[in-house]
Structure 1
Amino acid sequence: MAGVSGCLKYSMFIFNFLFWLCGTLILGIAIWIRVSKDGNEILSSGKSDINPFVAANILIAVGAIIMVMGFLGCCGAVKESRCMLLLFFIGLLVILLLQVAAGILGAISQTETKRILNETFYENVNLLSQTGNNGKEFRAAMTEFQNKFECCGLVSGASDWGSNFESVSQSCACEYSSNVCTTYKGKSVYKEVLGLVFSMVLYCQIGNK
Structure 2
Amino acid sequence: MAGVSGCIKYSMFIFNFLFWLCGILILAVAIWIRVSKDDQQIFTNGDSGVNPYVAVNILIAVGATIMILGFLGCCGAVKESRCMLLLFFIGLLLILIVQVAAGILGASFKSEFEQIMNTTLHENVELLSKTDDNAKSFQKALSKFQDEFKCCGLVNGAADWGNNFQYNYETCECSNTPDSSCVVYEGKTVYKQPCISLIKDLVKKHIIIIIGIAFGLAAIEILGLVFSMVLFCQIGNK
Alignment TM-score, normalising by the size of structure 2: 0.45
Alignment TM-score, normalising by the size of structure 1: 0.50
Larger RCO: 1 or 2 (CA < 8 Å, sep 6+): 2
